[in-house]
């Protein structure tokens, strides 16, 4: 049982590693765009509107992220309906932007933090939380076209499915002839 569980966990990790690595690279660039722009806006044109500055930075990073994830990270999972895919992406990112902006707003208005660097840090914590939400939402809701046609992914679904003994897979063997409890 423990061996089976560890095999499944290893299988799940190998199933996602390629996408996680690419998602991380895109996310790293989007993080720099988001935070670079937010930092500039917080210390310049939007000096008294930290939450709005976070929203603007995150919105521009979102457009970059959709393009990069669509054409690189999840290129084999793109939906045929681009408008639906983009709409779902915007919805998921709206939730993510709400999380990161919410952390900044909570720090400023809920906890009375006035130091810009602390408000900036609160937004980064929000980005980290939103990143986890975004990955799984992108993977299962936005870019969810099946990969079975691609050879390197063709057997990935078997990794997470329950393993059966050869006797169970053999249709010639009747239920009464199988060892163990009746099915």
- Distance, in Å, from the CA atom of 38 to the CA atom of 43, rounded to the nearest integer, reads 9
Contacts of 53 (CB under 8 A, 6+ apart): 38, 41, 42, 46
pLDDT of residue 165: 47
pLDDT of residue 159: 53
pLDDT of residue 10: 73
Q: SS3 for 111?
A: coil
pLDDT of residue 103: 94
pLDDT of residue 88: 87
pLDDT of residue 107: 94
- Distance, in Å, from the CA atom of 66 to the CA atom of 143, rounded to the nearest integer, reads 10
Q: SS3 for 154?
A: coil
What pTM value is reported for the model?
0.60
Q: pLDDT averaged over consecutive 10-residue blocks of the chain (183 residues)?
A: 68 71 90 92 90 88 88 78 85 88 92 91 90 84 64 53 50 50 51
Q: Tokens for 143? A: 């870019």
């Amino acid at each position: 049982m423990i061996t089976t569980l560890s095999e499944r966990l290893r299988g799940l990790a190998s199933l996602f590693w390629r996408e996680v690595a690419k998602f991380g690279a895109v996310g790293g660039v989007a993080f720099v765009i988001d935070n670079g722009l937010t930092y500039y806006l917080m210390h310049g044109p939007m000096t008294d509107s930290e939450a709005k500055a976070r929203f603007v930075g995150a919105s521009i990073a979102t457009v970059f992220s959709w393009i990069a994830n669509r054409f690189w990270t999840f290129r084999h999972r793109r939906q045929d309906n681009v408008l639906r895919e983009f709409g779902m992406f915007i919805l998921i990112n709206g939730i993510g932007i709400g999380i990161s902006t919410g952390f900044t707003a909570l720090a400023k208005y809920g906890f009375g933090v006035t130091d810009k660097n602390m408000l900036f840090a609160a937004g980064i914590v929000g980005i980290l939380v939103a990143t986890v939400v975004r990955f799984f939402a992108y993977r299962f809701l936005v870019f969810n076209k099946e990969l079975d046609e691609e050879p390197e992914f063709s057997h990935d679904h078997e990794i997470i499915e329950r393993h059966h003994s050869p006797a169970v897979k053999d249709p010639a063997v009747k239920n009464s002839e199988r060892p163990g409890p009746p099915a």
